[in-house]
Amino acid sequence: MTTQFEPLLEPIRTKGNVVLATHLNPDGDALGSLLGLADILELMGKRVFRYLEKPVSQLYSFIPGSDLAETGLDDLAEFVRQSGDDIMCIALDCGDRKRLGKYGPELLKIRPFLVIDHHKGNDGFGDFAWIDPKRSSTGEMIFDLAAELGQAVSDKAAYALFTAIVTDTGSFRYESTTAHTFDVARQLVNLGVQPDLVSRNIYDNFTAERLQLMQRVLATLEILHDGRIAVILVTREMLDQTGCTMEDTENFINLPRAITTVQVAVFLKETAEDMVSVSMRAKDTCDVADIASRFGGGGHRNAAGFRAADTTVDSVWQRLFPVLQQGMDH
C-alpha cells in the first residue's frame, strides 16, 4: 500500500483494459471522476468498463458518458475474462473497501487494484493507493493525473470533472476549495466547460412542488435555547399536500443551520404513521453523533441522525430537546 502518485502511473500507462468503480450511492464527485477518467483512458486506446451497481440517477444523467455505465455482474465477468492479464481496476472516490457495494469482493479480485481518493479516512486499500486529502475532490485529482500522463482531456471529460469539483466543493464554497481547485476549474473552462450549464443541472433542479414543500417546512421553524437550537418539521400531510416525497426534503436542514446564532439544527421527519426520522447538523460547540448514539443512531460530529419507531414527532422531540440542551451546555 502506498499513497504516492508515481506507482499508479505504470499500470495506468501499460494496461489495456480497465474496470472503473466507485462508492455506493455515488454523488457528483464519484460519477464525475469515474466518467471523466473513463473518457481519458479510452482516448489512450484502452477498453473501459464503467461499473456501477445501479444506473446513474436522473439528477446526474446530464454528465457526459452517464449512459455508458454498466451494472451487470455477468457483463463485468465477461469483460474480465476477455482481458486476461492485461487488466486493472481503479476505485474512485471510495474511502473504504466496504463501500464498493455488493460486488466489491468480485472487483477486489482484479489485480492490480488501484485506489484514487481524497477522503481523509481512507486507509489505502488495494495494491496502489493515491490518497490526497488536500484535494477538494477526486475529480480534481483525475485532472492532475491526465496532466501527468500528458493526456488530452476532451470537453466531455472536462464536463464530468467540473461536475465532480462543483458538487464536492458546494460550488467553490467549502473549506476544501484551494487555489489549485480554481486553477483546475480555469483549465476545464478553457477546455469548453460552461460553468452555468453544470450549475443549472445541479442547483436549478427544483420542482415547484419542492419549493412549496420548503415553504411549509419553514413555516414550522422554531428557535430555542437562546437562538442556539433551531428545529423544523415535515409531516406526511405536507408531502401529500405538495405531491412530494421525503427525498425532496434533501438539504432543507441547511436552512435553519444557516442562521448565524444556531449551533444545532434539527429536522424531524414523520416517515410513516408511527415512524420518526431525525437529522441533526451541528456547528462547532456540540457533538451530535454522541447525541444520536443515545437514541440508537450515529453519524459524524457535525452531521448525525436516528430513527424511532412506535412514536410521534412530538414525543421524540420531548425526549430529544432536554438531551440536546444538556449536550450543548457541557
Dihedral-angle region of residue 277 (phi above 0 means left; psi in -120 to 50 means alpha; beta otherwise): beta
What is the nearest approach in angstroms of a copy of itself to the Cβ of residue 166? 8
Residues in binding contact with a copy of itself, number by CB under 8 A: 46
Residues in region 222-261 near a copy of itself by CB under 8 A: 223, 227, 230, 255-261
Q: Is the Cβ of residue 220 or residue 293 nearer to a copy of itself in the bound state? A: 220
Q: Of the candidates 4, 57, 207, 318, which one interacts with a copy of itself according to CB under 8 A?
A: 207
Examine residue 62 and tell whether it contacts a copy of itself (CB under 8 A): no
Could you tell me if 235 and 270 are in contact, meaning their C-beta atoms sit under 8 angstroms apart? yes
Examine residue 196 and tell whether it contacts a copy of itself (CB under 8 A): yes
What is the nearest approach in angstroms of a copy of itself to the Cβ of residue 191? 9
Q: State how far the alpha carbon of 35 is from the alpha carbons of 3, 55, 70, 161, 313, in Å.
A: 23, 13, 12, 8, 42
Q: Is the Cβ of residue 214 or residue 320 nearer to a copy of itself in the bound state? A: 214
C-alpha 188/C-alpha 166 separation (Å) is 12
- Which residue in 132, 119, 133, 136 sits closest to 182, CA to CA? 136
- Which residue in 132, 182, 134 sits closest to 162, CA to CA? 182
C-alpha 109/C-alpha 111 separation (Å) is 6
Cell numbers linked to 6: 508515481
Q: Is the Cβ of residue 147 or residue 211 nearer to a copy of itself in the bound state? A: 211
What is the nearest approach in angstroms of a copy of itself to the Cβ of residue 26? 21
Examine residue 312 and tell whether it contacts a copy of itself (CB under 8 A): no
- Which residue in 311, 289, 302, 223 sits closest to 260, CA to CA? 223
Cell numbers linked to 232: 423544523
CA-CA-CA-CA dihedral for 95, 96, 100, 102, to nearest 10:
-150
What is the nearest approach in angstroms of a copy of itself to the Cβ of residue 32? 16
What is the nearest approach in angstroms of a copy of itself to the Cβ of residue 146? 17
Q: Of the candidates 75, 183, 237, 274, which one interacts with a copy of itself according to CB under 8 A?
A: 183
Examine residue 185 and tell whether it contacts a copy of itself (CB under 8 A): yes
Binding site for a copy of itself (CB under 8 A): 170-175, 177-179, 182-183, 185-187, 189-190, 194-196, 199-200, 203-208, 211-212, 214-215, 218-219, 221, 223, 227, 230, 255-262, 283
